[in-house]
Structure 1
Amino acid sequence: METLVRDFDLTEIINGEEIMGPSPFRKHQAVSANLFDIIRSHVKRNNLGKVYDSPLDVILEEGINRLQPDILFIKKENSDIEQDWIRGVPDMVCEIISQGTYKMDMVLKRAVYEKYKVPEYWIVLPELQAIEVLTIEGDRYKTYSIAEIEGMVQSKVIEGLQVNIKDAFED
């Protein structure tokens, strides 16, 4: 029974503290599915690497930081971090923000991703129909691409990827 529970465990470890995340709402899951489909089809078509969705542990530092981003991408040349879980720094992580996860995603997890220099961090805000793509420059995230309600966002890390905002938030 323990294995079954572990398969659906939404517990993350952030700076050594276990944090149980809330179950996502339907809108969150719809946006996540849309983005996963868009990103995964582009990555597969161009043979760029692998795309995964939550729940999947990303172990940045054993016992200290184990997160579960909503979507993550690993370049094929970095596939050595793909083990039982992801053990190391993915090339891109995406968090879909809801009221219950705002502080955790926008403050705590962002700081962890920045600390480990995750090259690209997508912040997705369903309530605003907005996506901001941040890239690491030195030790800090800077906005690379942003769009709200309509328009396109693009990835610096996933070669050639552009996402139409309307497609991401289609219900």
Structure 2
Amino acid sequence: MEVSSTEVQNNFGKYLLLAAQEDVIVTRNGRAIAKLTAVEERSRAGIVAERGVPYDLIGNYGGRKASFEEFLSLRKGKGDERFEYIDGEIYNLASPKTDHQVALMELAVMFHRWSEGRPCRPFVAPYDIELRRSERQDQANVVQPDLMMICDLEEHLSDDGYYKGVPSLLVEILSESTRGKDMIRKCDLYMKCGVREYWIVNPFAKEVTVFRFADEEIADNATYRLGESARSFIFEGLIAEVSRLFR
């Protein structure tokens, strides 16, 4: 990841967190001048800085990023195949494995129980969410978070039956092919698009990390491990027993 020195100065806390997952190259006037990198070996911490495989490695766009129209065209007629479109790159989502589904179903049940009698409602993938960064309102991104909490469904339900708002809380469960994308690119995307809270469920380290976003920054974060209960920063009483998420 390359970022300007000005961006790092203005958001230093954010890039310290990201440096634990991927080297951050600091640039000035287009030239690399420094590197933020983790002291602890990432694999030992249960973190791997690999990126998900962009679909354009399979369907070539001539070395450039795909347009939103090309993404829609590719997705059309693909049946049950699932795709995401993030900053001009298209990702073909693999079928989830058993550990992923165990964590998702347990967490979905906990979220559903909490939501009863409340205006917020949980949804699970596949469910397209269209997001736009505050500084790039003309550029759409389409993601399929594993689990989401939506509190303004009626206000943002379109005539074609799709939700067009921004969920309050999103959850991604890491897999071998997506953990770099979920921990780096999606964290940044969600933070810049108005999502208030992001949960990363890590089956490899058997832990859950919760981020609260405010003013497009990481305002709070906490990691919960076996024997503990993950807690929402924004929803009082929304908790998840970490041990129940992992076999």
Q: Which interval holds the TM-score relative to the shorter structure?
A: 0.7 to 0.9
Q: Which of residues 125, 145, 160 in structure 2 aligns to 1:69?
A: 145
Evaluate the alpha carbon distance shift between residue 41 and residue 4 of structure 1 in structure 2; reply closer, same or farther with a 3 A threshold: farther
Q: Which runs of 5+ in 2 are unaligned?
A: 1-75, 133-137
Higher strand share goes to which structure?
1
User: Which residues of structure 1 form unaligned runs of 5+?
Assistant: none
Taking structure 1 as the reference length, what is the TM-score of the superposition? 0.86
State whether structure 2 residue 108 is matched by structure 1 residue 33. Answer: no
Structure 2 counterpart of 1:73, which letter?
M
Q: Which moved more, 1:15-24 or 1:118-127?
A: 15-24
Alpha-carbon distance in structure 1 between the residues aligned to 2:105 and 2:85 = 25
* Residue 80 (1) aligns with residue 155 (2): yes
Deviations 1:94-147 (A, max 9, x none): 000111111111111111101102000000001211001100032212443321
Name the TM-score, length of structure 2 as normaliser. 0.61
Query: What SS class does the counterpart of residue 91 from structure 2 fall into?
Result: strand
Distance 2:104 2:226 in 1: 16
In the other structure, the counterpart of 2:194 is: 117
Assess, with a 3 A threshold, how the Cα gap between structure 1 residues 63 and 137 changes in structure 2: closer, same or farther. closer
Matched, 1:56 2:131: no
Q: Tell me the distance in 1 between the aligned counterparts of 2:222 and 2:163.
A: 26
Q: Which has the higher contact order (CA 8 A, sep 6+)?
A: 1
Partner of 1:23: 95
SS in 1 for 2:224: strand
Conserved? CA contact 2:147–2:172, under 8 Å:
yes
Report SS of the residue matched to 1:99: coil
**Partner amino acid for 2:129?**
V
Instruction: Give, in whole Å, the separation in 2 of the partners of 1:20 and 1:141.
Output: 28
Matched positions, count: 165
Bigger Cα Rg? 2
SS in 1 for 2:180: helix
Is 1:149 aligned with 2:191? no
